Amino acid sequence: MDRNPLLPLSTDTFSGIESSLRNISFQSCSLTSNSLPAFTRLINLERLKLQSNLLTEIKPNNLFSLMSQLIAIDLQRNQ
């Protein structure tokens, strides 16, 4: 999904595929912190790339609490 300016993501964005996603990349998509709850149910996610977006605040306990498989997250070049 890189370089794809998206509509705001919702908690239902990945509905039905939450447990099958392992790697996901949303680089340069103009995502804001309001879009982050869409990722909270990705319980088997191992790698998350969110660099070069408009993220200003991340609450790790809320965002990553169910992601027990997460080993890498890239947040470079955000606000």
pLDDT at 5 over 90: no
User: What's the pLDDT tens digit per position in 12-63?
Assistant: 999 999 999 999 999 999 999 999 999 999 999 999 999 999 999 988 777 8
Find the mean pLDDT for residues 52-76: 90
Total Cβ atoms within 10 A of residue 62 = 11
**Helix/strand/coil for 37:** helix
pLDDT of amino acid 1: 83
Supply the pLDDT for residue 8: 75
- Give the start-to-end residue ranges of the domains of the chain: 1-79
User: What gap in Å lies between CA 75 and CA 79, rounded to an integer?
Assistant: 10
